[in-house]
Amino acid sequence: MEREVFRNFSTFDEVLFYVLANLAMAIFAYGIFLKVRKYRRGRAAYRFDHLPQRLLRALAIAAGSTTIAKNDRFAGVAHAAILWGFVALFIGTTIIFIDNDILGVVAPSLRFWRGRFYLWYSLVLDLMGAAFVAGVALMWLRRKTFGLPQLDYSRVDYPPAQYSRLAYVRGDDLFLGLFFAIGVTGFLIEGLRIAADRPPFEVWSPVGWALADAIDLAGLSAPASSRLHFALWWLHGILALAFVAYLPFSKALHMLTDFANLMFRDDLAARRLPRPAAEPAPAHLGVETLGDLSWRNLLELDACTKCGRCHVACPARAAGAPLSPRDLVLDLREYADARLARPALEQPRFLGEHPSQKPDAILPGGVIQAETLWSCTTCRACVSACPVGIEHVPLIVEMRRRLVEEGAVEDSLREALESLGKRGNSFKQSDKLRGRWTKDLAFPVKDARKQPVEVLWFVGDYASYNPRLQEISRAVARLFHRAGLDFGILYDGEKNAGNDVRRVGEEGLFEMLAEHNVATLAKCRFGEIVTTDPHSLNTLKNEYPELGGRYTVSHYSEVLLRLVEDGRLTLNGGLGRRGTYHDPCYLGRYNGIYEAPRRLIEHAGVSLVEMPRSRENSFCCGAGGGRIWMDDSALAERPSESRIAEAIALGGVDYFVVACPKDVTMYEDAVKTSGNEGKIRVRDIAELVEEALAAEEAPGAAQTPAAAGAAPEAAP
């Protein structure tokens, strides 16, 4: 029980096939050489720690298509079918090569592609081949009939008259078309061979056997089937060899680069930004030219499959800003290929003059517009959505660093940075006023610089200086005091933690602020740090360790939940309200804190109605990455307004609950500007807890919005 590989082939036919096969492999090797040479031109990036763990993680992700199935099960199932079908067919081809071309020459007695092995081989490959063809068909159906916005290649920063991306569409069609043609012709030649020879053991090839029956029903004779088999064998072989040669120069390259990119990705990408190289000292900060990109940057640009998930997840794009993470990556890739390697077969083109066409173009402000870079809120939605591990945010920040060094920033941002440099806050206020909000409390708040405390509260700028947010700070302090928590603050010893300063691209100012805070904290005695600001939480937890500051850092929702569940604050669900909760980007996507706020909301007696975009898929308020210091008047619809509209659409929701000072500012303003005053109330989670405590102590006192009191106006 076996079959002939080169059925009815002459010696000339066999020699011709091997010549073509070696030519295809040579073209493939040349394409890979060009890519490797391109990556070697990138600067160093150390990603070789924990290699076994990195390899196993990448294998697990690839094997399960888990990142592709996330939020799109249809695509995940189809991709898994294609992947495993392709792997099985590749292994099957390798088995034939070993048995026929190696053992058949050097050790014929060891050949194994026969007998029972051949039967199981036939069954497995038929089933996996069918899965492969079905997966390709499903992907084609998804691409052509679902009308998915992520598959629309329209740009957000140029009108269609200025560019053409038809090459992308043709490249996608060619990729799927080649796969489908290879799979279908493979089954057809199997069916024709079985119809011509009718070996009874080929019933173990169920798809081929069924096709052979169909061929018989069509009235095709055995000799005719044999002749057609020979012709289709060559068509199938040429298609397969063409794919091998085509792979390094097309979208198919992602079959190699995606795995490598997943293997070398940074688990703390965007959470912890890379520090500028110390040795040798760079001529400038950040990324200016292709020579400033690392090999990992160049690899991740090639890993992009144009799936568009980052494109539809981006709040800046949704608001009408000139930023699409997908387009940014593709623009950089096209420019890198044109200058460092060989342009891909799918190269789009601009119909007019564009900075990227210049051989010496700089990246920030040239290939990528400055307005595009400043539109980013660093919300990390793109990084989270990307199925292949591209780290968009660090790359954007690297280019921002160069713009900051050149002084290419808008006036409001410059003023905020100057204030942060002089006073340690963006409010142009004296540091002596940072703790003034405590004076209206009925109890003193410890100075953690002078007394040891169980919990050191890092308050943050907005919660210290903004009049509306000072009310929330007092609510948090009252809750801590009521629970008997031993806490203190740094008063004028605290400066801005620097999270957003760093993401703006002002690395020097970030290090100055962080070093001051680390030095101050080193003189204090405390058990853990708590902060009401998720932005401060992120940088204290993930970035300060590189500067010598290693702490246990918690968000105030986590601390309040502990106090409630330990019985130090008694909540019995007294509010009886309906509300929705907004996951702050720097609390959720950045640091994985989703449950504590929700459990507090439940304890307070608020029935939680989730918004369509929640948890990891939460939609940014628009304040991050320094955007709160920049002008957003040109946006078609601010992200915060879009989010309020999403909450209103839920119907019958009393509270829009937040757990970030910046969110209070952004969303209270959005409620007004969107004309939704009186329809929904923005409530910080500490206010919600305090309101629930008051409701339980005096039933009816907080049963209506009027009784609870109108929310104070947000500070401009």
The pLDDT of residue 33 is: 94
Residues 498 and 573 in one domain: no
Q: 57 near 306, Cβ under 8 Å? A: no
Domain end marker among 262, 292, 325: 262
Residues 251 and 104 in one domain: yes
pLDDT at 111 over 70: yes
Q: What is the mean pLDDT of residues 237-262?
A: 94
Q: Please tell me the predicted confidence (pLDDT) of residue 602.
A: 94
Q: What is the CATH number of the domain that holds 402?
A: 1.10.1060
The yes-or-no verdict on residue 709 having pLDDT over 60 is no
Q: What is the pLDDT of residues 559-571, one digit of tens each?
A: 999 999 999 999 8
| pLDDT reading at 600 higher than 90 | yes
Cα separation, 302 vs 334, whole angstroms = 9
Residue 289 has pLDDT above 80, yes or no: yes
Helix (H), strand (E) counts: the chain = 29, 11
The token pair that represents 12 in the structure block: 């000339």
Task: Give the pLDDT mean for 410-429.
Answer: 95
| Mean pLDDT along residues 241-254 | 94
What was the pLDDT predicted at 353? 66
Q: Does residue 616 lie in a domain region? A: yes
Tell me, what's the pLDDT at 357?
A: 65
Is the pLDDT confidence value at 275 over 90?
A: no
Tell me what the mean pLDDT of segment 418-444 comes to: 95
Q: Is residue 713 scored above 50 in pLDDT?
A: no
Is the domain of 121 the same as that of 226? yes
- 437 pLDDT higher than 70: yes
> Does 222 lie in the same domain as 133?
yes
The predicted-structure confidence for 37-93, as pLDDT tens digits, reads as follows 999 999 988 888 999 999 999 999 999 999 999 989 999 999 999 999 999 999 999
Closest CA to 606 of 655, 667, 676: 655
Each residue's pLDDT tens digit, 364-377: 999 999 999 999 99
Instruction: Please say if the pLDDT value at position 677 is more than 80.
Output: yes
How large is the average pLDDT for residues 664-680? Answer: 94
pLDDT of residue 354: 66
Q: Is residue 394 part of a domain?
A: yes
In 3D space, the residue among 232, 182, 191 whose CA is nearest the CA of residue 211 turns out to be 191
For 529, phi then psi, to 5°, come to -100, 135
Inside any domain, residue 3: no
Mapped onto helix, strand or coil, the DSSP state of residue 126 is: helix
- In this prediction, residue 708 carries a pLDDT of 38
What pLDDT, on the 0 to 100 scale, is given for residue 338? 85
Domain that holds residue 315: 266-276+284-406
What is the pLDDT at residue 162? 81
355 pLDDT tier (thresholds 50, 70, 90): low
Beta carbons of 12 and 262 less than 8 angstroms apart: no
* Statement to judge: residues 600 and 651 lie in one domain: yes
The amino acid present at 342, given as its one-letter code, is R
Confidence category of residue 352, pLDDT binned at 50, 70, 90: low
Mean pLDDT along residues 663-669 = 96
- 3 state SS of 487: strand
Does residue 280 have a cis bond before it (omega within 30 degrees)? yes
Same domain flag for 79 and 145:
yes
Mean pLDDT on 674-679: 92
Flag whether 419 is in a domain: no
Nearest alpha-carbon partner for 584 in 514, 493, 676, 685: 685
Q: Quick check: is 321 in a domain?
A: yes
556 with 567, same domain: the answer is no
Residue that is last in its domain, among 355, 372, 406: 406
Domain boundary among 406, 438, 471: 406
Report if residue 32 sits inside a domain.
no
CATH code of the domain containing 437 = 3.40.50
Instruction: Give the pLDDT of residue 241.
Output: 97
Q: What is the reported pLDDT for 280? A: 66
- 150: tokens are 């992520």
- β-strand pairing of 606-608 with 553-555: unpaired
- DSSP SS3 for 681: strand
Q: What sign for the dihedral angle of Cα 286, 547, 419, 394?
A: positive
Mean pLDDT of 317-326: 95
Compute the average pLDDT of residues 503-513: 96
Mean per-residue pLDDT for 478-486?
97
* Total domains present in the chain: 4
Cα torsion through 587, 588, 592, 596, rounded to 10: 80
Judgement on whether residues 92 and 232 belong to the same structural domain of the protein:
yes
90 and 117 assigned to the same domain:
yes
Average pLDDT, the chain: 92
Closest CA to 396 of 418, 367, 360: 367
391 touches 270 (CB < 8 A): yes
Residue 2: predicted pLDDT: 76
475 in a structural domain = yes
User: For residue 8, is pLDDT > 60?
Assistant: yes
Q: Is residue 16 part of a domain?
A: no
Tell whether 553 and 568 lie within a shared domain: no
pLDDT at 571: 87
pTM of the model: 0.91
Q: Are both 468 and 512 inside the same structural domain? A: yes
112 lies in the same domain as 222? yes
